[in-house]
Amino acid sequence: MNRRELAQLIDHTALKPEATWSDVDRLVAQGLELGVHGVCVAPSFLPLDAQGQTVVTVVGFPSGAHYPEIKAAEAARAAADGAHEVDMAMNLGRAKAAEWSLVSAEIAAVRAALPEGIVLKVIIESAALTDAQIVAACWAAEDAGANWIKTSTGFHPAGGATVHAVDLIARTVRGRLGVKASGGITTLAEASAMINAGASRIGTSHTAEIVAELAE
């Protein structure tokens, strides 16, 4: 894989709470230079002139502990403001309590609020879940009409993406859904390990450093 091919698998991200318009402008410019798949920003930065790049935003982020109707309304507003892809934080407490019908219903509400063609990724916060809970979360998201499973917000103290979690997610969804590895991916070795484990997208704010390790 060369630099351009890897960049096309990356959502170039600026989601720190202290991010400013200057940070977002830099993100867009860097994304164009590197040839990333898309740029991922908080919904307060929408509408965003991404100069032709895919616009990714987040919903219920980072805790996931929002009312379902608030997440749905946030998703609808994001789509109206030009987002092409929405990364939704799952209700982790519901998942830990095995309230899977409620987890699925919430995801379905967000899916219903989005126009057809808008990609919905569900962030399951895999580092905070057992293997059995990861599998159940994937099933709940798939049943609700999600397009992708995303490992992590990158803000949970339990940690971010792991090779084990990505492999388990990929084996569970078996290509029916995409797999996005995100959270703590800062080097080429880490990104490559996630891709080899089954990730079809990488979320990172360290894109420049990662792709710089590859040939043009």
Looking up residue 177, the CATH number of its domain turns out to be 3.20.20.70
| Total domains in the fold of the chain | 1
* pLDDT computed for residue 41 by the predictor: 98
Domain holding 117, by residue range, is 3-211
Catalytic machinery residues: 87, 150, 180
| Domain contains 184 | yes
Q: Tell me the whole-structure pTM to 2 decimals.
A: 0.97
Q: Which residues contact 161 (CB under 8 A, 6 or more apart)?
A: 126, 127, 151, 152, 181, 182, 183, 184, 185, 194, 199
| Domain contains 64 | yes
| Domain contains 186 | yes
Q: How far apart are CA 172 and CA 40, in angstroms?
A: 26
| Domain contains 216 | no
| Domain contains 164 | yes
Q: Band of the pLDDT at 55, cuts 50, 70, 90?
A: very high
pLDDT in tens, 147-165: 999 999 999 999 999 999 9
Mean pLDDT of all residues in 134-144: 98
Mean pLDDT of all residues in 181-207: 98
| Domain contains 197 | yes
Question: Does 216 score more than 80 pLDDT?
Answer: no
Q: Which residues contact 35 (CB under 8 A, 6 or more apart)?
A: 4, 7, 8
pLDDT in tens, 79-124: 999 999 999 999 999 999 999 999 999 999 999 999 999 999 999 9
Which residue in this structure is represented by tokens 């499973």? 149
Q: Band of the pLDDT at 215, cuts 50, 70, 90?
A: confident
* pLDDT computed for residue 20 by the predictor: 98
Whole-Å CA distances, 84 to 119, 132, 140: 7, 31, 23
Per-chain mean pLDDT for the chain? 97
Q: Band of the pLDDT at 1, cuts 50, 70, 90?
A: confident
Question: Does 22 score more than 80 pLDDT?
Answer: yes
Q: How far apart are CA 32 and CA 51, in angstroms?
A: 8
* pLDDT computed for residue 161 by the predictor: 98
* pLDDT computed for residue 90 by the predictor: 98
| Domain contains 92 | yes
| Domain contains 139 | yes
